[in-house]
Structure 1
Amino acid sequence: MNKNNCVLTVLILLIMSIGMSGCVDEQADGDAFSATGINRDLLFQTSTIDALLEGVYDGDITFEEMKEHGDFGIGTFNGLDGEMIAIDGDVYQIRADGIAYTVNDSMMTPFAAVTYFDVDEDIVINESMSQQQLEEYLVSLMPSKNIIYAFRIDGTFDHMKTRSVPKQNKPYPRLVEVAKNQPTFEFNDTEGTVIGFWLPEYIDGINVPGYHFHFITEDRTAGGHVLEFDLRNANVQIDQTYDFMLELPRNDDFSSVDLTDNKQDELKQVEK
């Protein structure tokens, strides 16, 4: 074999080796990774719920950056300026007037969690249920209480009650104080979408353990943080999520806040 043939043989073997190695890596990683190498089975979060409870309402991540980590999620805006809902890749801001506004990519968030929503289970519900009944039913379907679940509930609601929060000015009050004067909104016989997450108890202090839902109407014009609802019928989609990534703000407010106290009681007041 001459020198040129030897070089050609080595190159072919090297290419085959790289290709086989890539196949092994892809199989080892599982179906969670897209063709571009993005982990679609990951919940990405900025800051912590305890920091938000303490009044850390300014973050350092834009919604353009958030969209790199997911097309589905909930959160809020700098200055606590309303409730955030990301659905089908679009982000909406439901302000203190209850109206849903489209979000500019340059806007920033102090607290949000997003994922790429991929359906693992699809359920049709053709009966009336209260929020509590639906939540209990969904818990009964969970194969494990130790992983994260993302929910999308498209349906008709006999009654839906939501809230938002008005934009705050510095010095920022604690969230439990803001929630005492939160505007609420009620919808009757309306169609729309509830999205959010169920998180394990060990996430306490980082995010909201249990359910945390936001709502937006079918025409994407109104919504808010869910307080209660009665469901007539719905299509429920569930995404089981196994990975979690937390990115902390790089600012003085977060660096100096005291996060040592247990804030479960305050969280329950704020959520309900």
Structure 2
Amino acid sequence: MREDELRGLAQQSPWLVRALRVVRDSGLPDAWIGAGAIRDLVWGERYGDGFDPSSVRDVDVVFLDPTDLSRDNDDRATGRLVATWPEPPWEAKNQAAVHTWYSAKFGGAQVAPLHTIADAVATWPEYATAVAVRLDTHDRVTVCAPHGPDDLLDGVWRCNPTRVSPIAIAVIIEPFSTSHVTNSAPCPAGYGVVASRRRRCQGSAASASWRGLSLTSTRERVISRLKPPRRSRIHVGGARRRGRPG
């Protein structure tokens, strides 16, 4: 199982294991670490010069507490983590409360309440970051990856349209589809960029920097509708690259 690959990478990082222990022992209900910190670890180890914890911008901790939907609950949860280990940039969010603030912050229609962590993770905006991990009481890593861990492990950047609007997707991918990549036209809303790692050495390649990693595209790239099973994606370079995620 590919989840075993992710478990191995997580268990080999003393920093992440310590962070997972802090989260597990915090008393927060159904608490996990997910999103960017996990991506930074995997891509740093597989496609960079190693994982640098100091480059992690946020340690996203998700938990599920339907008894208190206030934003103060998030602040108290974050404070609890900081009190145990002050260095990481903790950011705790109660996924049971997302429906109370999501539309006001990001626009769009009211979203339905989330009842499980898996439901929450499944809505996160990129498949590579729609992954969370935690430690069980026996220090074993548990993985929550509703869309699977392939994009994360294979260095694929791909929008998850479950909750992100086509306009937001276009804004996210626009830097890679226009100003930083040769021989490309602007991506219309609802479309994504496809760049095949197998074709990385063909044509004239152009690179764009995203969080310190090299995203490579070639003349072979095409514009494709962003819907399964035709996967719109940007591959992180096929070989290990210098530089670390920022």
Q: Is TM-score (shorter-chain normalized) higher than 0.5?
A: no
| Interval containing the TM-score (normalised by the shorter chain) | under 0.3
Higher helix share: 2
**Structure with larger RCO (C-alpha < 8 A, sep 6+):** 1
